[in-house]
Chains A and B, each alone.
Chain A
Amino acid sequence: MSPPGPRLLIVDDERPILRLLRTVLTPHGFEVIDAATGQEGLTAAATGRPDLIILDLGLPDLSGVDVIRRVREWTKIPIVVLSAHDREEEKVEALDAGADDYVTKPFSAGELLARVRAALRHGDRPPEDPVFVASELTVDLSKRLVKLSGRELHLSPIEYELLHTLVLNAGRVMTHRHLLREVWGVGYDQAAHLLRVTMSNLRHKLEPNPARPEYIITEPGVGYRLRVPSES
């Protein structure tokens, strides 16, 4: 890898985690810089020109959400947060504050890499391939065409809109609020039932078994994620 790979800023006060992340990420072509506090992290984000920030939510000085808000004041670089397993509200808060995705501790290397890559992909999203393919599912955004095992699916406009949003953010978790705003528009933040019912209908159309979804994964208490083919 001759050109230097993407530069990652890791903000975490736990030294072992920092060391682990460096070890995991460097071989995959990432350049790693780190910071141990929220303040240091904010400085490093401004001076170190990272392409993505991995941010632990439990920092000693600032709350993770505050760090996200302050970074979001001036840049859209992707942020992936690290959070404990039972802190759904914290995750949702971080995502709504502008984080792009989250990884639950303890995490596997594969999971982290997938999230980082997905986030980087969307960070500087070019109008790339308008066709999304995941095993039997094909979504052609340019033609508004959805196919399952080669057969065309008939979706209602709102179902299509939901799928469209998920495809544009493939691999990233989308909070309920985010989806409601994107698909239904501002003012529908609280209309969770619309999302729930539409999602159920959409799954019934494109999942072979909606009780064991393959394409659209539920992140309990947080939102939904369209699985990308590379994910395990």
Chain B
Amino acid sequence: MGTEPSRPDPEQLLRRVQAEEQRGRRGKLRLFLGFAAGVGKTYAMLEAAKEQLAQARDVVVAYVETHGRKETDAVLAGLPIIPRAQVTYRGVTLEEMDLDAVLARRPEIAVVDEMAHTNAPGSRHTRRFHDVEELLAAGIDVYSTLNIQHVESLNDVVAQITGIVIRETVPDRILEEAEQIELVDISPDELIQRLQEGKVYVPEQAVRAIRKFFRPGNLTALREISLRYLAGRVDEQMRRYMEVHGIPGPWAAGEKVLVAIGPGPLGERLVRAGRRLVSSLGAEWIALFVETPEFRRLPQVEQERVTKALHLAEELGGRTEVITGTSPPQEIVRYAQANNVTKIVAGVSLRPWSERLRRGSLVDWILRHSENIDVYAISGPAGPKTLSVPSAPAQGAPLRAYLSSVGVVALVNLAGQLVHGHLELTNLTMMYLLGVVIVALEWGRGPAILAAALSVATFDFLFVPPRFTMAVSDTEYVITFAGLLVVGLVISALASRVREQVRAARQREASTAALYALTRDFAAASTLDEVLAAIARHVGTAFDRMVAIFIAKDGRPEVAYRGPEFPLTENESAVAAWVMQHGEPAGRGTETLPAARGRYVPLKTAQGIRGVLGVVPQAGGTALGPDQEQLLQAFASQAALALERVQTATATQRRELSRETEKLQTAVLNSISHDLRTPLASVSGALSSLLDGDVHHDDATQRALLETAKDGADRLTHLVTNLLDMTRVEAGALSLRKEPGDIEDLVGAALAQLGSRAREREIEFGLPPDLPSVPMDFALMTQALTNVLDNALKYSPLARPIRIEARTAGGEVHVSVADRGPGISDEDLTRIFDKFHRAEHPPDESGLGLGLTISKGIIEAHGGRIWAANRPDGGAVVTFALQYVLGEPGEIRERLDEPAGTAPADR
């Protein structure tokens, strides 16, 4: 190795920098740590807060409990206080910190007492330290207090010393994240004196326990633990400093600790031990649970114990892993070797020797096979005998299985009667063994044991002389009995294990298959909707749950999919919003917002949070087991990746589209600038020529020049008008003032707009007198029809007539404008309504090709449609259809037409 310059691993450095940055954005936690109640933490905290206030920092008290102590009250008096929230739970009103009010107030520093406090049910988080974390995440500094016995990893040590088990623990990571920890220290004697003077708050119901707790021995021990804890922390800071500054030190690099969790009572203890080991090593750690086929048959309590231990490990900052296998020791060692684990923590439970003999000791086996991996064996009491809870028969074989087992033995006996006399008695035992094997394979271990016992008994009773008594004449038969029983038991054990393995394999296969099916469907899904449907379908069936999917939109969750019966209340949405914001699971079965009906899992990828998956059990559904939790996680990460993929694809498409649009816009700009410049050139050319003093124009020339200028100006007007109309249509800014309008009037108005251009043309009309009125914005529709007419005039020879027709058809009025021009090519039939499209026969008139597009926009805004066709006898016809409302017009016409209206309408 030599004297390589001791440079820290760059990855490690990066992690450090990231952690520091993270801390830069987050609020800072200043923790006042005491070794017992009454040492004066709250007082010290408030003093510190007041100091900050004096330095003009924005300090508020979010929650402080003074327990009526005068000194503390006095300090509190000078500080701004945020009123507490009232939480009503089962008729009792409890006061809690108003987290939302504090977040809304956004102080620089929030003072939050008693971090280990458990919030009233119905609060956002179950524990106050979650609240504190949220404040920190929001960039608010927090001052808080904590007693040493509430520190998670010290929990059992404290329990051992004091004999009191503390339930309200705070995970170590909170303390590790603290910017500053201040130990509030007084001597145990002084504390006891304060207690006697009544200066220590003691809840009434706990007077005796507390008095027992406040013994000099206890207090000294707790004080020592506190001091050691802080010393350890300083040590670690030192190590970090050395790491960053490249000081060679004895820190262990690349340590990886594996904590092997079993269903025994040791689980949580192992996790804590592992955590302590890790914090003194500065290593990465994993809590591993090997799910065996038998696990599912264990009592609910033991199954939950594993889930709890895994949760604890996660809380303490470990990674958790659940794998399935039949032999935990083997699986553990295999996993450890594959993952470069350096240390294994495993439990030696103090089981009765008989049991240990049967199941074998886990640690022994690991020790023998782990080669260069250190093994730490943790021993502990057998724990509260939860095992004594009778394993639920429902979990084992049902009664029917046992009856079947009896039946099989009976059959064997029947068969034995038939062959009795033809076979050696000892060979008859083979038939019994066959029966046991069948029972074991079909119905599992319990029935098989019953079958083995029954076999021995009935064999003795029915066949062994003296027959039909339980007596045995020949003692040799005792060996036969023993053999039959032992072989029967062994076979039953083996056979049922095979059966369990098959079952576990099947289950694992089902999980894998579900995951595979999910990824396959994701691969096939190309749109967001397809991905959402796939997630909903697969999650729904694999977990038997109602599903909702939220997608991040501006950082807020937006419901993208909702199962038919998903209870999407405001509450549930709020949980989803929290998950979206924090990237952590929440809701039912978690520590955050556990009162929610559903579980909400973030859909997270390396790029960020894509959305939230919400699952709610069907009525009568069960909680998720550890393997199912893992599967849900796997589903969530697959779903997140799939979402990311389609969203990225959509973004790419959008980019491509915008590139296309850009290209089009460039083309359009070129076209517009050409079309605008041409008339402008004629206007300014004509006018400058007139202004030119050197040349004298005769009257005719002057007039010609002026007409040129006027013509150019008219064209410019037309172009600009069209462009403005187009902008209005495109921007969707058309606000329609719909009123019933007369088609005949509309035609007249449109022709008037075209002025002389229409007047000099022959126009045929086919307007029936009884046309219904049509609801329309008259001014806009005049514009639309004018453009259609303008087009017809432009694209047909001057000498040929234009025909305007209207008729009713299926609730619509169809208005068509037909010309005798060259017609429209098939491909242009639809494209003529596209923006900037001009038909191929360029007329001498210029235009932007916007006219029909504007007409289409206006007509579609009216809920109508427009299309083009060719006339069979030559020429094009453009038709638009608008819906009309029945009623009204006819009757009014009659009423208005009464007295003098006798003369025929002259036409």
- Show the binding face of A for B, using Cβ within 8 Å: 85-86, 88-89, 106, 148, 151-160, 192-194, 196-201, 203-206, 208-213, 217-222
Contact of A197 among B748, B767, B892, B899 (CB under 8 A): B892
> Is B317 in contact with chain A by the CB < 8 A criterion?
no
Q: A85-B721, A155-B901, A218-B749 known; A192 and B739 CB under 8 Å?
A: yes
Stretch of B125-133, B233-241, B477-485, B777-785 with 4 or more beta carbons under 8 angstroms from chain A? B777-785
Provide the residues of chain A in CB contact with B897, threshold 8 Å. 156, 201
**A160→B897 CA distance, assembly (Å):** 12
Q: In the complex, what residue of chain B is closest to A160 when comparing beta carbons? A: B900
Residues of B within 8 A of A211 (CB): 744, 747-748, 751, 765, 767, 804
Q: Is the CB–CB distance between B889 and A205 below 8 Å?
A: no
Contact between A220 and B778, CB atoms less than 8 A apart: yes
State the Cβ distance, B124 to closest chain A Cβ, in Å. Answer: 52
Q: A200-B744, A209-B765 are in contact. Are A153 and B907 (CB under 8 A)?
A: no
Given A157-B900, A211-B747: A196 and B742 interface contact (C-beta under 8 Å): yes
Which B residues between 890 and 906 are near A, CB-CB below 8 angstroms?
Answer: 892-893, 896-903, 905-906
Is the C-beta of B651 less than 8 angstroms from some C-beta in chain A?
no
Q: Are B745 and A196 in contact (CB under 8 A)?
A: yes
Residue B879 at the chain A interface, CB threshold 8 Å = no
CA distance A160 to B783 in the complex (A): 31
Is A106 a contact partner of B713 (Cβ separation < 8 A)? yes
> 12 A–B contact pairs at CB < 8 A?
A86-B728, A86-B779, A106-B717, A192-B739, A196-B740, A204-B905, A208-B906, A212-B751, A213-B752, A220-B749, A220-B782, A220-B783
- Is B773 in contact with A196, judged by CB distance below 8 angstroms? yes
- A222 vs B752: C-alpha distance when bound (angstroms): 14
Q: How far is the CB of A197 from chain B (nearest CB, A)?
A: 5
Q: Which of A154, A194, A210 contacts B902 (CB 8 A)?
A: A154
Contact of A212 among B724, B763, B900, B902 (CB under 8 A): B763
Question: Which of B725, B740, B893, B905 is the most central at the interface, judged by chain A CB atoms within 10 Å of its CB?
Answer: B905
Nearest A residue (CB) for B902: A154
Q: Shortest distance in angstroms between B898's beta carbon and chain A's nearest beta carbon?
A: 6
| Contact call A154/B778, Cβ cutoff below 8 A | no
Pick the contact of B907 from A88, A209, A217 — CB < 8 Å?
A209
Cβ 8 A contact of B898, one of A152, A156, A210? A156
Interface residues in chain B, defined as those with a beta carbon under 8 Å from any beta carbon in chain A: 713, 717, 721, 724-725, 728, 737, 739-742, 744-745, 747-749, 751-753, 763, 765, 767, 769, 773, 777-780, 782-783, 804, 888-889, 892-893, 896-903, 905-907
Task: State in angstroms the CA–CA spacing of A211 and B769 once bound together.
Answer: 11
Q: Given A85-B721, A206-B906, A221-B777, A154 and B742 touching (CB < 8 A)?
A: no
A194 and B892 form a contact (CB under 8 A): yes
Closest 4 CB pairs of A and B: A221-B779, A154-B903, A220-B782, A204-B905
**Docked pose: A211 CA to B896 CA in angstroms:** 21
B892 touching A156, Cβ below 8 Å: no
Q: Given A89-B737, A159-B901, A217-B752, is A201 in contact with B778 using a C-beta cutoff of 8 Å?
A: no
Given contacts A218-B745, A221-B779, 18 further A-B contacts (CB under 8 A): A151-B906, A153-B906, A155-B900, A156-B899, A157-B899, A159-B901, A160-B900, A197-B896, A199-B742, A200-B744, A200-B745, A201-B905, A204-B905, A210-B748, A211-B804, A212-B751, A218-B752, A220-B753
Report yes or no: A148 in contact with B906, Cβ–Cβ below 8 A. yes
B778 to A: closest C-beta gap in Å:
5
Known: A157-B900, A211-B804. A197 touches B893 (CB 8 A): yes
Contact A156 B896 (CB under 8 A): yes
Does A198 contact B896, Cβ atoms closer than 8 Å? yes
Contact among B713, B748, B763 with A213 in the assembled complex (CB-CB below 8 Å): B748
Which A residues are CB-close (under 8 A) to B713?
A: 106
Q: How far is the CA of A103 from the CA of B744 in the complex (A)?
A: 25
Question: Which residues of chain A have C-beta atoms less than 8 A from B725's C-beta?
Answer: 86
B906: chain A residues at CB < 8 Å are 148, 151, 153, 205-206, 208
Q: Which of B777, B778, B804, B900 contacts A156 (CB 8 A)?
A: B900
Which of A154, A193, A209, A211 has the most CB atoms of chain B within a 10 A radius of its CB? A211
B900's contact among A86, A154, A198, by CB below 8 Å, is which? A154
- Known A-B contacts A205-B903, A220-B779, A221-B777; the reply to A193 vs B748 at CB < 8 A is no
B contact residues around A222 at 8 Å (CB): 779
Tell me whether B779 and A88 are in contact (CB under 8 A): yes
Chain B residues with CB under 8 A of A221: 737, 777-780, 782
Contact B765 A193 (CB under 8 A): no
Inside 8 A of A151's CB, which chain B residues have their CB? Answer: 906
A219–B752 alpha-carbon span in the complex (Å): 9
Closest to B739 in A: A192
Q: What residues of chain A lie closer than 8 Å to B892, measured between beta carbons?
A: 193-194, 197
Q: Which residue of A lies closest to B777 (CB)?
A: A221
User: Which residues on the B side are within 8 Å of A88 (C-beta)?
Assistant: 779
Query: Hey, which chain A residues are within 8 Å of B901, CB to CB?
Result: 154-156, 159, 201
| Closest beta carbon of chain A to B305's beta carbon, Å | 75
Nearest Cβ in chain B — how far from A93, in angstroms? Answer: 12
Residues of A contacting B779 with CB < 8 Å? 86, 88, 220-222
Q: How far is the CA of A102 from the CA of B450 in the complex (A)?
A: 108
What is the bound-complex CA distance between A159 and B747, given in angstroms? 22
A152 to B906, CA, bound (A): 11
* CB atoms of A208 and B763 under 8 A apart: no
The answer to whether B896 and A201 touch across the interface, beta carbons within 8 angstroms, is yes
**A204 CA / B717 CA spacing, docked (Å):** 34
Q: By the criterion CB–CB under 8 Å, are A158 and B782 in contact?
A: no
Contacting residue for B748 out of A156, A196, A201, A212, CB 8 A: A212
CA–CA, A151 to B752, complex, Å? 27
Q: With A and B bound together, what is the CA distance between A159 and B767 in angstroms?
A: 22
- Counting chain B CB atoms within 10 Å of each CB, the highest count among A198, A200, A201 belongs to A200
Instruction: Considering the complex, give the chain B residue whose CB is closest to the CB of A199.
Output: B745
**Of B713, B899, B900, which is in contact with the most chain A CB atoms at under 10 Å from its CB?**
B900
Interface centre among A88, A201, A204, A210 (most CB of B within 10 A): A210
Closest to A152 in B: B903
Q: Are B896 and A204 in contact (CB under 8 A)?
A: no
What are the residues of chain A within 8 A of B751 when measuring CB–CB?
211-212
Residues of B contacting A193 in the complex (Cβ-Cβ under 8 angstroms): 740, 773, 888-889, 892
Chain A residues with CB under 8 A of B765: 209, 211
CA distance A198 to B889 in the complex (A): 11
Find chain B residues with CB under 8 A from A159 CB: 896, 901
The distance from the CB of A207 to the nearest CB of chain B, in whole angstroms, is 8
In Å, the complex CA distance between A151 and B904 comes to: 12
Give the Cβ gap from B166 to chain A, nearest Cβ, in Å. 74
Quick one: closest B residue to A84, CB to CB? B724
Chain A residues with CB below 8 A from B804, complex form: 211
Q: How far is the CA of A158 from the CA of B896 in the complex (A)?
A: 7
Contacting residues, chain B, for A198 (C-beta < 8 A): 896
Cα A200 to Cα B748 with chains together (Å): 11
Closest to A153 in B: B903
Q: Which of B752, B782, B896, B905 contacts A194 (CB 8 A)?
A: B896
Q: Which residues in A have their C-beta under 8 angstroms from that of B741?
A: 196
Closest partner residue, chain A, to B735 (CB atom): A89
Point out the residues of chain B lying under 8 angstroms from A192, CB to CB: 739-740
Q: A157 CA to B747 CA in the complex, in Å?
A: 27
Do residues A208 and B907 form an inter-chain contact, with CB atoms below 8 A?
yes
Which residues of chain A come closer than 8 Å to B778, judged between CB atoms? 220-221
Chain B residues in 8 Å Cβ range of A158:
896
Report whether B748 and A218 are in contact in the complex, using a CB–CB cutoff of 8 Å.
yes
Q: Which residue of B lies closest to A86 (CB)?
A: B724
Chain A residue with Cβ nearest B741: A196
Chain A residues within an 8 Å CB radius of B745: 196, 199-200, 218
Task: Chain A residues near B744: list those with CB within 8 A.
Answer: 200, 203, 210-211
B780 shortest CB reach to chain A, Å: 8
A86, A196, A205, A219: which contacts B905 (Cβ < 8 A)? A205
A residues less than 8 Å from B752 (CB atoms): 213, 217-218
| Alpha-carbon separation in the docked complex, A193 to B748 (Å) | 18
The answer for the CA separation of A217 and B888 in the assembled complex, in Å, is 25
Nearest CB in chain A: distance from B680 CB, A:
14
